[in-house]
Each structure stands twice: as structure tokens, then as C-alpha cells.
């Protein structure tokens, strides 16, 4: 694959459309498997940019209707949040239970 001409699908982890198509052809046919295999959607935007594209590609390559392709689990905090901001909310000794 010529990197210069490649279409980048996942900007955060720098993964090209060609790599995703290849993965689908190798049998990684769910968004979750593609995520685990290529790290697509595991970067800063947590797949908000690339997952719809990946789901479309899976539908195109496998013939499965797009509405039957489920996105991977959404993991909080959705957008990156600094540790300092979250850590300030609980006090020491303030146990979860």
C-alpha cells in the first residue's frame, strides 16, 4: 500500500481504508474485531470519526445490511478528560461502598 495515496479512515491511530478492507477480507467482520485487530477507534476520538466508516465498509464487503452491524461498546468518558479534574471530585477515604 502506498501510504502517500492511502485514504486514512482512523486519524487517531493512523489506519488506512485499505488496511480495514484487508482485515475484513481476512475474516474480521465485526467493528469490535477490527478495533481489537487494528486499534482503529482506540485513539483520542474513541471511534467517533472512523466507526461509521468502518461499519459502512463491513456492510459493503460482507453484504450484511448496515443496520444489522452493531458498533463496539461506547466507553466513558466519551471525550478525553484530565485525571486532575476527575480525581478532585472524590476525597481520600471516601470509599466507593
71 binds other proteins (CB under 8 A): no
Which DSSP string corresponds to 11-78?
TTTTEEHHHHHHHHHTT--SHHHHHHHH-TT-STTTTTTTHHHHHHHHHHHH---GGG-PPPPP-TTS
Q: Which three cell numbers stand for residue 71?
A: 458498533
- Exactly one of 1, 11, 44, 48 binds other proteins (CB under 8 A); that residue is 44
Using CB under 8 A, which residues numbered 1 to 30 contact other proteins? Answer: 30
The yes or no reply on residue 32 touching other proteins (CB under 8 A) is yes
4 vs 36, which CB is nearer to other proteins? Answer: 36
State the cell numbers at 48: 467517533
Using the minimum distance from each CB to other proteins, give the nearer residue, 1 or 86: 86
Binding site for other proteins (CB under 8 A): 30, 32-33, 36-37, 42-44, 46, 73, 75-77, 80-84, 86-92, 96-97
Amino acid at each position: 500500500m502506498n501510504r502517500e495515496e492511502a485514504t486514512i479512515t482512523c486519524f487517531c491511530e493512523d489506519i488506512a481504508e485499505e488496511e480495514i478492507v484487508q482485515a475484513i477480507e481476512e475474516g474480521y467482520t465485526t467493528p469490535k474485531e477490527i478495533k481489537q485487530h487494528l486499534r482503529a477507534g482506540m485513539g483520542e476520538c474513541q471511534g467517533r470519526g472512523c466507526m461509521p466508516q468502518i461499519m459502512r465498509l463491513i456492510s459493503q464487503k460482507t453484504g450484511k445490511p448496515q443496520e444489522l452491524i452493531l458498533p463496539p461498546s461506547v466507553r466513558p468518558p466519551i471525550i478525553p478528560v484530565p485525571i486532575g479534574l476527575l480525581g478532585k471530585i472524590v476525597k481520600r477515604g471516601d470509599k466507593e461502598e
